[in-house]
Amino acid sequence: MFSQFDTDMMSRAIDLAKRGVYTTAPNPNVGCVITQGDDIVGEGFHFRAGEPHAEVFALRAAGEKANGAIAYVTLEPCSHFGRTPPCADALIAANVSRVVCAMVDPNPNVAGRGIQRLRDAGIQVDVGLLQPQAEALNPGFIKVMKTGMPYVQLKLAASLDGRTALANGKSQWITGPEARADVQVFRAKAGAVLSTSQTVLDDNPSLNVRWEQFPLDVQADYDIKTLRQPIRVILDTDAKVKIDAQLFSLDGEVLLVTATPQAVSLGDDVEVIQVNRQGNGLDLSATLRALASKGINHIWVEAGATLAGSLLNADLVDELIVYQAPKLMGQDARALANFGGLTAMEQVPSFDLTDVCQIGNDVRLRMKKQ
């Protein structure tokens, strides 16, 4: 069904889609290439929610050359009116002859409708080219559409013996500056950075994206004015966080999740979500579902061993990212994750190792849930 030229063009569309990874949330990353014969006559990618989609930019670039052309799109063209008109209608109006989609829209309410609209207009539509690569562009968007739950990445920094802090709580810094800069990249791709009130009280972190720590190659492709700050989400069961915490003085939205909203006194600028207690903390599954309902598809978690253990124990972690430093901290240091009660190996949270790389003097391990 697909030629090598088709594959090359879709690969180009996927590369274009990646240029929106720091800016498009909560919308998916999408790229589009339009060709006439062997020539690319238009291309584009979705940059920001509320702005034109990839197909619109590509059609604008192609102009009249879109007539009879082939459009390669990493995601099924939308068929509904949102903040922008349907892209399927724009392709029909441009009189393209064929549309190649990497994947169907995962939204069950619209899946396949854009494809059908194109086919009803007499346009040939072929689906499934480089689908795994296209799916990898938007794990959060896909998971929320299919399950109502966000994609959760849990970040941990540990010594060789799996310790995250000394017995007195000191942990700055286990890893080197290169690893901490790498964390900025992951934060910037997420819809939200999630932590706990205990982390705020202990470390007074900013939890924001710091442009000056971005890798130089990323800085070369983006302007600081276009950088999107992810929402900072603080789990604060008993409303312990105070307004003088550093994160409230910085740009970007802060959202507080608590079981005691009546005790929160942070002003009108901080949105509060109430979630019921579960054990000594919050119902984490309900918390994640509530965040997804707010349009947060992808969550980057930075917290201590208690939340890490609770998320792992509840099977709520999709991807585990561990920065391991060539240091030994001893048996009195704090563990990587606090959870217990396991009596059989079948109960142990297991992950598939997907990537290992050296970051400065540290090693980064990426693992996905089996």
Cβ proximity of 134 and 301 under 8 Å: no
- Give the integer Cα–Cα distance in Å for 346 and 348: 6
- Dihedral of CA atoms 115, 121, 126, 132 in degrees, nearest 10, equals -20
> Following DSSP, what letter does each residue of 271-282 receive, concatenated?
EEEE--EETTEE
Helix (H/G/I), strand (E/B), else coil: 235: strand
In terms of DSSP bridges, do strands 192-196 and 31-36 run parallel, antiparallel, or are they unpaired? unpaired
Residues 6+ apart with CB under 8 A from 107: 145
Amino acid in position 152: V
- Give the integer Cα–Cα distance in Å for 49 and 170: 40
Q: If DSSP states are collapsed to H, E and C, what string results for 98-153?
A: EEEECCCCCCCCCCCHHHHHHHHCCCEEEECCCHHHHHCCCHHHHHHHHHCCCEEE
- Whether 55 is catalytic: yes
Cβ proximity of 79 and 48 under 8 Å: no
- Give the integer Cα–Cα distance in Å for 140 and 129: 21
Report residue 234 as tokens: 């603080």
Closest CA to 228 of 176, 298, 177: 298
Phi then psi for 307, rounded to 5 degrees?
-65, -40
Helix (H/G/I), strand (E/B), else coil: 7: helix
Closest CA to 259 of 243, 240, 232, 242: 240
- Please identify which of the residues 43, 55, 76, 302 carries the catalytic annotation: 55
Report residue 258 as tokens: 């608590």
Catalytic positions are 55
